[in-house]
Amino acid sequence: MKMKIFVPRDATAVAVGADEVVAAFAQIAAKRSLPIEIVRTGSRGLHWLEPMVEVATLKGRVAYGPVSSEDVASVFESMASNGPHALRLGVADEIPWLKRQTRLTFARCGVIDPRSLEDYRAHGGYKGLERALSLGSDAILTEVTASGLRGRGGAGFPTGIKWKTVAQAKADRKFIVCNADEGDSGTFADRMIMEGDPFLVIEGMTTAGITVGATKGYIYIRSEYPHAVAAMKAAIVAARRGGYLGDKIGGSTHSFDMEVRVGAGAYVCGEETSLLESLEGRRGLVRAKPPLPAHHGLFGKPTVINNVLSFAAIPFILAEGAKAYADFGMGRSRGTMPIQLAGNIRQGGLFETAFGVTLGELVDDIGGGTFTGRPVRAVQVGGPLGAYFPRALFDTPFDYEAFAARDGLIGHGGIVVFDDSVDMRKQARFAMEFCAVESCGKCTPCRIGSTRGVETIEKIIRGERVSENLALVEDLCNTMKFGSLCALGGFTPYPVLSALKHFREDFAPAPTTLQAAE
């Protein structure tokens, strides 16, 4: 029997040697004249085990990892003889880290060949769209609203209400825009799903199109993600060929087509109105709201603009029903969140689970603490605009409201772990510096405030009039928070103020001054 071996083509796996592993397998199979079939999949998300290689057996797919090209010869022997190996992890689906997840959005990621429409359909793909086509617009809106799905980009706005607004708008043209400008450090869920299950994103956008009456969609992907761009482009071509994009999709009377647009290195374009400006071919200047994109979006037309993960959640909701999704979660945060564990972490990767898991469970238990082995001191949740939380707040449940209540945000679900060597003054300074570099320049609090913020924090670091300057930074943060047009200037205070509040000792005047004051 021909051995079937699965190796991820996900960028994370490629960055740690997956392509070299594939070459080594091909070489050894040729040498041993044993025919093998190598399938390139997405990543299962156990990134500390990448490249994680699997082989099809009668008991299911057996995984090995992390496999380097030097390990391939012995791994190959183990696969061929079903024998033991130090890197053998057992049946992939039974690995505890995977088994304890609730994979609704990422169910297929790492399992199927992302280039194969047949594989997607064989694993339940397009069931959601088929049901959507039989339901019609109003019933779809009811389902999406009842699922409780909230915008996964970070703002958490109810998706059903957004779609309904666009559905009710009257216009000659409407658009579906997918925000794949995943610029937050510590996040990679959009990238993984685009590379590992791109048809899912297409299905979600297509469903949005038939719901609101839009026939054209754009997916705006950041240029830092060339693998995701290639995967989405290939999937769009395949979907078109399979009758799932273009005229009369899935044999219905609806038409919908879409194309990929590539960003150009501006972080602010992840803000929805800035992204729309960029799609229109202009500088990514943030627009004042209202008017909302739902009324006046791309090219001035009613537009549904959602994050990749929001669209990717839709097919499950329609295939299995709103209740199946809403049954997971807590409070007003329904369903699951693909959480990304990153930075200085032993078991980093993607962990999809129902809302409500605590930050401590995620970092210590699931993440296994730091890879340096030093104590965890701070975690930044929600990207460069998210707050730094100390261990004292590790009982916070992963939930939009619970994080907001503690002056933080879950954002796009990224968690960056720092050990006790972190200097929080440096992190606070970086937050301001990043804002200064990436500000679109339209509003003053963000444009000027961030630069003054960098200068003032530098004075604190140099020990110049520390308490006065700390008060000044806090005042500046308030101005930015309430006076900025968008989340860039408005949320940069989160990392800065949280660093000041929870890690005050890092900002204290030099010890000699302290003694003098006593």
Q: How far is the CB of 460 from other proteins (least distance, A)?
A: 19
Q: Which is nearer to other proteins, 28 or 466 (CB)?
A: 28
Q: How far is the CB of 186 from other proteins (least distance, A)?
A: 5
Q: Which is nearer to other proteins, 123 or 227 (CB)?
A: 227
Nearest to 433, CA basis, from 410, 454, 418, 407: 454
Which residues contact residue 11 at a Cβ distance below 8 angstroms, ignoring those fewer than 6 apart?
191, 195, 225, 227, 228
Positions of E strands within 181-269: 216-221, 257-262
Q: How far is the CB of 467 from other proteins (least distance, A)?
A: 27
Question: 152 near 313, Cβ under 8 Å?
Answer: yes
Q: Which is nearer to other proteins, 148 or 338 (CB)?
A: 338
- CA end-to-end span of the chain: 79
Q: How far is the CB of 243 from other proteins (least distance, A)?
A: 24
Residue identified by tokens 């000044």 is: 472
Q: Which is nearer to other proteins, 21 or 92 (CB)?
A: 21
Return the SS3 of 415: strand
Element (H, E) at 121: helix 117-122
Question: 210 near 137, Cβ under 8 Å?
Answer: yes
Q: Which is nearer to other proteins, 88 or 374 (CB)?
A: 374
Q: How far is the CB of 468 from other proteins (least distance, A)?
A: 28
Q: How far is the CB of 369 from other proteins (least distance, A)?
A: 13
Measure the CA–CA gap between 121 and 435, rounded to whole angstroms. 43
Measure the CA–CA gap between 374 and 422, rounded to whole angstroms. 11
Q: How far is the CB of 390 from other proteins (least distance, A)?
A: 15
Exposure on the CB side of residue 435, measured as CA atoms within 13 A:
39
Cis peptide before 226 (omega within 30 of 0): no
Q: How far is the CB of 496 from other proteins (least distance, A)?
A: 13
DSSP output for 221-238 = E-TT-HHHHHHHHHHHHH
Q: Which is nearer to other proteins, 14 or 477 (CB)?
A: 14
Q: How far is the CB of 349 from other proteins (least distance, A)?
A: 5
Question: 189 near 412, Cβ under 8 Å?
Answer: yes
Amino acid code (one letter) for 354: A
Amino acid code (one letter) for 160: G
Measure the CA–CA gap between 415 and 429, rounded to whole angstroms. 19
Q: Which is nearer to other proteins, 84 or 281 (CB)?
A: 281
**Angle, nearest 10°, between helix axes 198-212 and 308-320?**
80
Measure the CA–CA gap between 217 and 256, rounded to whole angstroms. 7
Which residues contact residue 291 at a Cβ distance below 8 angstroms, ignoring those fewer than 6 apart?
none
Token pair listed for 354: 């129902």
Q: How far is the CB of 49 from other proteins (least distance, A)?
A: 11
Q: Which is nearer to other proteins, 16 or 155 (CB)?
A: 16
Q: Which is nearer to other proteins, 224 or 407 (CB)?
A: 224
Q: Which is nearer to other proteins, 418 or 491 (CB)?
A: 418
Q: How far is the CB of 48 from other proteins (least distance, A)?
A: 7
Nearest to 365, CA basis, from 376, 354, 355: 376
Q: How far is the CB of 427 from other proteins (least distance, A)?
A: 7
Binding residues (CB under 8 A) for other proteins: these are 11-12, 14-16, 19-20, 23, 47-48, 50, 69, 182-188, 191, 223-227, 261-267, 278-284, 299, 340-345, 348-350, 371, 380, 384, 414, 416-419, 422, 427, 430, 434, 438, 440
DSSP output for 157-188 = -BHHHHHHHHHH---S--EEEEEE----TT--
**Other residues' Cβ atoms within 10 Å of the Cβ of residue 456:** 20
Q: Which is nearer to other proteins, 184 or 272 (CB)?
A: 184
Q: Which is nearer to other proteins, 264 or 516 (CB)?
A: 264
List 257's β-bridge partners, or say none.
216
